Amino acid sequence: MKKSILILLLNLVIFGSYSFVAMAIAPESRLVNQAQEERAMKLFLKIRCLTCQGQVIENSDSDFAYQIRHFVRKEIELGSSDEEIIAKLIENFGADIIADGNVKNNLFLWLMPLVFAIVLLIFLNKKQIILFSRKK
């Protein structure tokens, strides 16, 4: 009898703690309208978490991402368009919040090392020609 009570108490302690953990990590409230929720999920992939390192808010567990997901869902419920929601986010947080980013700036950053390498090769080639012409 004592052994069965001990086993019962042990099970309550072990499995009861799991239920408290599950309650602490409750899922976010979703939109009732499935089309609106899908729209929100698409927006989550376009919005960057500013406290994470380049992660979109759909994948982030930070408080900031949670607040932005809540904001997006609330705006969708109020009838805001995707463009209006993005404009509000850019107004409040700057263009860095959008995961697409500014393509012109990104292109410049990616092409600069190539331009630098070409200029360096031209400079070294001219230097080599000058050195060889002096030795003759």
Q: How does pLDDT run across 18-41, given as a tens digit for each residue?
A: 444 444 434 677 777 888 889 999
DSSP class of residue 51 equals S
99 CA to centre of own chain: 7
State the average pLDDT over residues 39-59.
86
**What pLDDT does 83 receive?**
92
- Using CA atoms, how far residue 104 sits from 19, 54, 56, 110, 129, in Å, is 50, 18, 21, 10, 37
More confident residue, 115 or 6: 115
Tokens at residue 31, please? 């939109």
Place of tokens 């759909």: 58
Domain segments of the chain as ranges: 30-101, 102-136
pLDDT at 104 over 90: no
Would the pLDDT of 51 be above 80?
A: yes
Domain 30-101 has what CATH class?
A: mainly alpha
| Structure confidence by residue, pLDDT tens digits, 75-98 | 999 998 989 999 999 999 888 888
What is the per-residue pLDDT for 22? Answer: 41
pTM reported for the whole predicted model: 0.56
- Averaged pLDDT for residues 102-130: 77
pLDDT-derived band at 130, boundaries 50, 70, 90: low
